Structure 1
Amino acid sequence: MKLTSFYSTAPVCSPSRAGLLTGRSPNKAGIYDFIPGLKKSPDNRDLVHLQAHEQTIPAMLKSVGYATCLVGKWHCSSRFNSDKQPQPDDFGFDYWMATHNNAAPSHKNPNNFVRNREKVGEIEGFSSQIIVSEAINWLENKKDNNPFFLEVTFHEPHEPIASPEDLVQKYLPKAKTREEAEYFANVENVDIAVGRLVEYFKKNNMDNTLIVFSSDNGPETLMRYSRAKHSYGTPGPLKGMKLWTNEAGFRVPGIINWIGKDMYSGTTDKVVSALDYMPTFAELSGAKLPNRNLDGESFVSLLEQGEFNREKPLIWAFYDAINEQKVAMRKGDWKIMASIEANGETLPNIHNLYDGNEALVKNAKLVNHVMFNLTKDIHESEDLSTQEPEVFEEMKKTLELEYKKLLDESHIWVREE
């Protein structure tokens, strides 16, 4: 099944992953932006991590007998592989081999993987293939017939890019530059890696295996920063790029394959989010959902009948957005966006909510609204806020309500000294 209206939980990596794992807006976990390496900062960004009380998909599935594994990129803590912050095994992963952020020094022969809290050292090969080999080895060595949850998080095609030379040569005639050919080759290397894993499932008769494939955010902008010289990803018809709250920031590929099961197949424009994984996996596995308000909804009906009409609007508040409107909400066919104004001025871009800016953000107002009908206008090219006054007023009220609820539950980082 190809989902053409599938959304990540944020337009950048770390919050997107936190939202996926918890089924809740990442703002509620206090992860507002990508998590850098540890460096003390005045906005308490160095404190940011997925906290021990957060309930995750692997922990939930473990409660009903699932074996769990993470291979690839973690990026949910500022202190990776440290006892001072929770690590993947604290969130329900029995086994993990991961990096803090990107593969380093590049995708080729990375040296920054950690396996179950032990540094691995340099591994020969390319990151995507290394990750899939580790996943297959874990499956091969699994001693029981218990069901499993496997999270495979590729580094490619994020910088710093490195690709097999034979694939680069394949794309050189089609590319404008060698860097573009290396990017195309990078994407194909992921495709090959995914194919290896799916082939393993089929060969080993894993005939009740649900696979979901997506991305944590939209494509990077070429040369947005000095190392982004390979960032040739395109948003297609969508407006914006990674770090935008326009559609290209978080409307991402969504592909679902249920090996061995009759499921609805084809293309659907039903609105689905990575927030929905947790309630969907709970319903399919018989696991009990965490006792807290989730922002996702189960889409089992979509898998079985091709029908799903979400009741909860999707809201994003990304305070470091490149575009002007930092708050966005999708409800049905409609999307509304708003800027944030504090003390008569546009709220500056911020990476983190902490006790030093909490009052500023919470007292700010939503202004400069725009509204689009995404079913008719995927490009977000025509603001219908004046042409559809009744819809606009309803959407505006809903946005105010949903944003206030989100702010009330947003985690504020306070340094305890």
Structure 2
Amino acid sequence: MKSSRLNYRFLSVLALFISMNLYAQTPQTKKDTERPNIVLILCDDLGYGDLACYGHKQIKTPNLDQMAKEGIRFNHFYSAAPVCSASRVGLLTGRSPNRAGVYDWIPHSSESSSPHMRKNEITFPQLLQKAGYATCLSGKWHCNGALINTNQAQPQDAGFDYWFATQNNAAPSHKNPVNFIRNGVELGPIEGFSCQIVTNEAINWMEDHVKQNEKQPFFIYLSFHEPHEPIASPQKIVDTYKGIAENTNQAEYFANVENLDKAVGSLMNQLKKLKINDNTLVIFTSDNGPETLNRYEAASRSYGSPGELKGMKLWTAEAGFRVPAIMHWPEKIATGQISDQVISALDFFPTFCDLAQASNSKSLNLDGSNFTPALHKKKMTRHKPLLWIYYAALNERQVAMRHGDWKISAKLNLPRYHNITSKNFPKVTAATLSDYQLYNLSKDKSEANDLSNQNPKKSAQMIKFLKLQYQDLLEDSHTWK
């Protein structure tokens, strides 16, 4: 581990040197010091009901609860997809992942023809880089099938000066992972638990960055593996849930969430120590809803909670993609807010570009909108409805759209497709929407009352609008050969 730490310091200084020289070429103005640092914390499979501040009765999440008290907790925040890879690609590109050709989770593969986020995709970290930000990724990547392989785009191609990542899950589990890669160099075994490891890496990078160039703003993408299987948690925390949890496996899950909460606490404390807390926007959320217990052989510890929502991960019902979201920015966000505005991970792209004063071309056909007004108790304007087409959905309806308070979902008469290729694309284009369901989510959070027959006028309006949006996305979706 000693040589690994030395390697980290060398690579960290090198990355900072490069980013400082790039930044030096951009004339600094008074606005440079006003632009916030941005830290985006993304969990893996954390359910809507998994935090104490979202109603969980057993799991202890004091750091996230405090973060919510000091900032905003969102009740209607959505991921870009109900599954990991697609969600992450949508988050980075600000567009439906279907446009990028990532429809589901990405299996391990080094082939250029297998699904991945291609090099021609524009990501917001690239634009933040061009605007003078230093950028860092620490944690799970899963936007391609193989790291350190030139056949597929790598984190540096997506705009990260510095990266410390795994292609998919931490292996063999969250404890003592062996599959981390730092800036293209495989590291081998690392002692500790994944959420603490990736947080410490981000903190070390941040400390070095602030020491070298405190005036240069930064972006950190801190991507936890927790609480995705294979789950492993510190025994001391697991022991505190014995007698509270139903069994040892559930205690492991509860402890897993508490452990990631502790990692968030470490980061927040370090921001204060470095005296950069006030002008740092920290966002905490999840890539999709909770895994279904025992859905596959290794999911025996998947005790995530959807709260009051219907469905789970891989569903187009609310629990598939409505997730916790907390935002903290002492200099700009008033404390103790609870917001019912509809926000999406697709919105990070235009919002971060606005805050960073970065170029944001209209030609990108973004699906997200700028939610900056929502941070200041003002109503944001959404220029497109939120639309999900997930061909491998576990529930009956593969298509869902949220527009204002209303949500409509529909069936496609298709098999469960994990990818769209030139072979199955004709069947996809020939399929028609049917069997609609309509819900008013402002009054019916759990999707218990289908209003399609009770409100035929609204139903007809939403069906017409859905068909237009569906066709637009279908025509712009990438098809693999």
Instruction: Establish whether TM, by shorter chain, passes 0.5.
Output: yes
* AA in 2 matched with 1:274: A
Larger mean Cα displacement after TM superposition, 74-83 or 272-281: 74-83
SS of residue paired to 2:448: coil
**In 1, Cα distance between the equivalents of 2:129 and 2:336?**
29
1:199 & 1:74 partners in 2: Cα distance? Answer: 25
**Residues 110 and 149, structure 2, Cα contact 8 Å, conserved in 1:** no
Work out whether 1:52 is the aligned partner of 2:52: no
Match of 1:215 in 2: 286
* Conservation of the 8 A alpha-carbon contact between 1:271 and 1:309: no
The alignment partner of 1:4 has SS state of: strand
Look up the match of 1:160. Answer: 230
Out of 237, 256, 268, the residue aligned to residue 339 of structure 2 is 268
Paired residues of 2:369 and 2:381 also in contact (CA < 8 A): no
* Aligned Cα root-mean-square deviation (Å): 1.2
1:224 to 2:295 alignment: yes
2:365 aligned residue: 293
Q: Give distance in 1, aligned partners of 2:110 and 2:332.
A: 48
**Which secondary structure does the structure 1 equivalent of 2:376 belong to?**
helix
Amino-acid identity (%): 53
Question: Which amino acid in structure 2 is aligned with residue 397 of structure 1?
Answer: K
What is aligned with 1:130?
A: 197
Q: CA deviation at 1:287?
A: 0.6
Match of 1:38 in 2: 109
CA contact (8 A) 2:118 2:153 kept: yes
Deviations 1:83-132 (Å, cap 9, x if unpaired)? 11110001110000000110000000000000001001100000000000
TM-score, scaled relative to structure 1 = 0.95
Please name the residue that 1:113 is paired with: 180
Indicate whether 1:18 and 2:89 are aligned.
Answer: yes
Equivalent residue for 2:304?
233
- The structural deviation recorded for 1:224 is 0.3
User: Which one of 389, 395, 404 corresponds to residue 471 of structure 2?
Assistant: 404
Q: Is 1:257 aligned with 2:328?
A: yes
Letter paired with 1:325: R
Assess, with a 3 A threshold, how the Cα gap between structure 1 residues 355 and 29 changes in structure 2: closer, same or farther: same
Q: Secondary structure at the match of 2:309?
A: coil
2:225 partner SS: coil
- Partner Cα separation in structure 1 for residue 360 and residue 335 of structure 2: 25
Shift of 1:63: 1.0
Post-superposition shift, 1:317? Answer: 0.1
- Indicate which of 129, 146, 150 corresponds to 2:220: 150
Structure 1 runs not aligned, ≥5 long: 342-346
- How big is each residue's C-alpha offset from its partner over 1:22-75, in whole Å with a ceiling of 9 and x where there is no partner? 0000000000000011288xxx9x611101111111101011100000000000
Kept in 1, the 8 Å contact 2:110–2:146? The answer is no
Check conservation: 2:282, 2:329, Cα contact below 8 A. Answer: yes
1:5 equivalent in alignment to 2:72: no
Residue in structure 2 matched with residue 27 of structure 1 by the alignment:
98
Secondary structure of the structure 2 residue equivalent to 1:172: coil
3-state SS of 1:405 partner: helix
1:318 maps to amino acid: Y
In the TM superposition, what is the alpha-carbon distance from 1:262 to its structure 2 partner? 4.2
Could you tell me how far apart the structure 2 residues matched to 1:368 and 1:280 are?
36
Residue 292 of structure 1: how far off its partner (Å) = 1.2
Instruction: Decide which of 155, 160, 180 is 1:88's aligned counterpart.
Output: 155
Provide the residue aligned with 1:180 in structure 2.
Answer: 250
8 Å CA contact 1:264–1:304 kept in 2: the answer is: no
Deviation at 1:306, TM superposition (A): 3.6
Distance 1:50 1:263 in 2: 37
After superposition, the Cα gap between the structure-2 partners of 1:39 and 1:54, relative to the gap in structure 1 and judged at 3 Å, is closer
Cα distance in 1, alignment partners of residues 289 and 333 from structure 2: 31
- Taking a change above 3 Å as real, the CA distance of residues 262 and 32 of structure 1, as seen in their structure-2 partners, is closer
Distance in 2 (CA, whole Å) between partners of 1:84 and 1:119 is 18
Helix, strand or coil: the match of 1:270? strand
Matched, 1:320 2:387: no
Unaligned runs of 5+ in 2: 1-71
- Cα distance in 2, alignment partners of residues 183 and 316 from structure 1: 29
Q: 2 CA distance for matches of 1:263 and 1:406?
A: 37
Deviation at 1:305, TM superposition (A): 2.8
Tell me by how many angstroms 1:309 deviates. Answer: 4.1
Partner secondary structure for residue 147 of structure 2: coil
Structure with the bigger RCO (C-alpha within 8 Å, sep 6+) is: 2
- Does structure 2 conserve the Cα–Cα contact (< 8 Å) formed by 1:264 and 1:303? no
Specify which of 196, 202, 212 is matched with residue 272 of structure 2. Answer: 202
